[in-house]
């Protein structure tokens, strides 16, 4: 019997809703078809933006959308995407072997964010761009005065500034974003930040970090003055076995690779603690994360089927984010629609939700709550291997918990990742007693199950019965199942 003790009286930090964010790149069918269909499309849309996918994002209270890339960002010139749509240039999409019609640009992105109820986060072009181009984009979006750029925005239909708060200073600048060495990126970052910040703007800048200590530490050391940074980003992609035809061993081995994100966060936060003498909190943003299966590697649109296994792994990653709510300021899954570990998939007019969408939905009640510490005891383990080949005793239960500001409702999310064995659990609440508990479960007859145009709701959450008494919940978790419990406290 696995034992969880939820320490309601031992808070970690507020779980920023931004930890449940999204990333949408001009790649495959994410923007074009997934989000943008054009206002002359037979697919129901609002000013060209697809209604069904946006409604799905709105239902999740999607907090933020990062755009336009990804690798695409460092070859994107924002002027190509403003002004009358039919006059916009058609360009090569360098990284994703495609052509870019520029029908979806800054105004369409802001419209998408407003329709979805999300904050816009724009990634600037450092690799092939200039500080002048980047600062000009910030001015175009955010300036309220009477400059040519502000007038141009007004002429394009938006007299009011967009107020974009989050700006990424390049993407993967150690790779597709210019192949910089970390010290060269630091010099470049300082130059960009000088012109981005120099206009007295209420914006937050995200510097490009990396996994492992070398890049982050050399970058921060060379940068010197960390007053120019608000967040440092890391990316984590998780790979092991086929999207659907994975073996049981590959299922278990996916977890140590996913949990690597914890080391990424801790390493980035440690590097920041070493070099940050500003007295300000500089957060870690997991700007891109998710499973990346071989199926996507064989497709230039990075399309892959998404199974229940992917949703379970996403939940284990959410548990890491919740546990590190004091360090992580944002996290964005790659990528929202039709690409990699997406939340929605489309085929022409058809749209269906992936199991990962439902994992987001089950974790939604944590947003804005205080994460609290929990102890896991007597949890059975299975043998797994990390990417380095080392054996790991993987606990079959992953969990996280939070409590709302008023201290009236606790949220406990937990999964049994074992493919065959159920896991009976007791969940003891320390520092509160239970008035009422309700729960939902996401599971299926096989962890390989997924949704598609012919079976759009094969994997979806259902109500789940918990036994609630005084301070203890009891649940028999079925194999490969994720449960989200809402507990009203006395």
- Nearer residue to ligand AHR within complex by CB, 25 or 310: 25
Q: Which residues lie below 8 Å from residue 171, measured CB to CB, with a gap of 6+?
A: 69, 70, 71, 73, 74, 123, 177, 208, 287
Q: Which residues pair with 382 in a beta bridge?
A: 394
Q: Please, what is the minimum distance in Å from the beta carbon of residue 212 to ligand AHR?
A: 15
The answer to the question of residue 334 lying near ligand AHR (CB under 6 A) is yes
| Distance linking the first and last C-alpha atoms of the chain | 26
172 or 188: CB nearest ligand AHR: 172
Using alpha carbons, list the distances in angstroms from residue 457 to 12, 279, 335, 357: 36, 49, 21, 12
Question: Which of 75, 133, 188, 288 is in the footprint of ligand AHR by CB under 6 A?
Answer: 288
The answer to the question of residue 93 lying near ligand AHR (CB under 6 A) is no
CA distance 381 to 193: 47
Nearer to ligand AHR, 32 or 252 (CB): 32
| Binding map of ligand AHR across residues 66-85, x = CB under 6 A, - = no contact | ---xxx--------------
In terms of C-beta density within 10 A (0-12 exposed, 13-18 middle, 19 or more buried), how is residue 87 classed?
exposed
Rounded CA separation 226/257 (Å): 31
Phi, psi dihedral angles at 337 (to 5 degrees): -130, 130
**Of residues 23-42, which lie at the interface with ligand AHR (CB under 6 A)?**
25
The continuous run of DSSP H or E covering 90 comes out as none
CB 362 → ligand AHR: shortest distance, Å?
A: 24
Whole-angstrom Cα distance, residue 456 to residue 163? Answer: 37
> If you count them, how many residues does the chain have?
490
Single out the catalytic residue among 100, 133, 204, 288. 288
Closest residue to bound ligand AHR by CB:
70
Contact status: 172 vs ligand AHR (CB under 6 A)? yes
- State which of positions 177-236 bind ligand AHR (CB under 6 A): none
List 288's β-bridge partners, or say none: 235
- Does residue 133 belong to the site contacting ligand AHR (CB under 6 A)? no
Q: Which has the closest alpha carbon to 4: 441, 479, 429?
A: 429
CB of 310 vs ligand AHR, minimal distance in Å: 15
With binding defined as CB under 6 A, does residue 338 bind ligand AHR?
no
| Number of residues binding to ligand AHR, judged by CB under 6 A | 10
Least Å distance, CB 185 to ligand AHR, is: 15
Residue 123 interacts with ligand AHR (CB under 6 A): yes or no:
no
**Cα-based distances in Å from 240 to 234, 237, 339, 356, 443:** 20, 10, 17, 17, 21
Q: Which of 172, 188, 204, 267 is catalytic?
A: 172
DSSP state of 227: G
Annotation says 295 is catalytic: no
**Cα–Cα distance measured from residue 241 to residue 57, given in angstroms and rounded to the nearest whole number:** 29
To the query of whether residue 172 is one of the catalytic residues in this protein, the response is yes
- Least separation, in Å, of the C-beta of 367 and ligand AHR? 24
Q: Among the candidate windows 63-71, 134-142, 308-316, 363-371, which touches ligand AHR by CB under 6 A? A: 63-71
Which are the catalytic amino acids? 172, 288
Q: Residues interacting with ligand AHR, by CB under 6 A?
A: 25, 69-71, 171-172, 288, 334-335, 340
């Amino acid at each position: 019997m696995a034992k969880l003790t939820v320490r309601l009286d031992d808070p970690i930090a507020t779980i920023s809703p931004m930890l449940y964010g999204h990333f949408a790149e001009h790649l495959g069918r994410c923007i074009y078809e997934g989000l943008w269909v054009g206002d002359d499309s037979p697919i129901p849309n609002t000013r060209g933006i697809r209604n069904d996918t946006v409604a799905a994002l709105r239902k999740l209270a999607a907090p933020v959308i990062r755009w336009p890339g990804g690798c695409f960002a460092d070859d994107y010139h924002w002027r190509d995407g403003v002004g009358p749509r039919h006059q916009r240039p058609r360009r090569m999409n360098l990284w994703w072997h495609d052509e870019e019609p520029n029908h979806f640009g800054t105004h369409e992105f802001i419209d998408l964010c407003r329709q979805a109820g999300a904050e816009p986060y724009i990634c600037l072009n450092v690799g092939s761009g200039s500080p002048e181009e980047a600062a000009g984009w910030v001015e175009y979006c955010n300036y309220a005065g009477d400059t040519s750029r502000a007038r141009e925005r007004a002429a394009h239909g938006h007299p009011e500034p967009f107020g974009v708060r989050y700006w990424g200073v390049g993407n993967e600048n150690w790779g597709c974003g210019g192949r910089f060495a970390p010290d060269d990126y630091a010099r470049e970052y300082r130059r960009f930040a000088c012109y981005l910040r120099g206009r007295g703007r209420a914006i937050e800048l995200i510097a490009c970090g990396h996994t492992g200590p070398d890049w982050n530490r050399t970058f921060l050391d060379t940068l010197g003055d960390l007053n120019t940074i608000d967040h440092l980003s890391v990316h984590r992609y998780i790979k092991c076995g086929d999207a659907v035809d994975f073996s049981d061993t590959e299922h278990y081995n996916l977890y140590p690779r996913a949990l690597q994100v914890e080391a990424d966060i801790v390493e980035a936060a440690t590097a920041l603690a070493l070099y940050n003498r500003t007295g300000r909190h500089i957060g870690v943003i997991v700007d891109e994360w998710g499973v990346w299966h071989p199926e996507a590697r064989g497709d230039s649109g990075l399309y892959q089927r998404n199974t229940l296994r992917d949703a379970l792994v996403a939940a284990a990653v959410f548990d890491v984010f919740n546990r590190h709510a004091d360090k992580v300021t944002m996290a964005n899954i790659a990528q929202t629609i039709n690409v990699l570990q997406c939340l929605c998939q489309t085929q022409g007019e058809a749209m269906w939700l992936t199991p990962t969408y439902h994992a987001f939905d089950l974790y939604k009640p944590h947003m804005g709550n205080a994460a609290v510490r929990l102890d896991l005891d007597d949890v059975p383990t299975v043998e797994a291997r990390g990417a380095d080949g080392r054996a790991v005793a993987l606990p079959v239960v992953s969990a996280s918990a939070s409590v709302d500001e008023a201290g009236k409702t606790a949220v406990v999310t937990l999964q049994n990742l074992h493919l065959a064995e159920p896991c009976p659990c007791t969940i003891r609440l320390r520092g509160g007693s239970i008035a009422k508990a309700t729960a939902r479960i996401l599971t299926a007859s096989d962890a390989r199950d997924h949704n598609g145009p012919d079976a759009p709701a094969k994997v979806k959450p259902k109500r789940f019965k918990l036994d609630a008494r005084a301070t203890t919940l009891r649940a028999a978790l079925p194999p490969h199942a994720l449960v989200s419990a809402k507990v009203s406290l006395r």
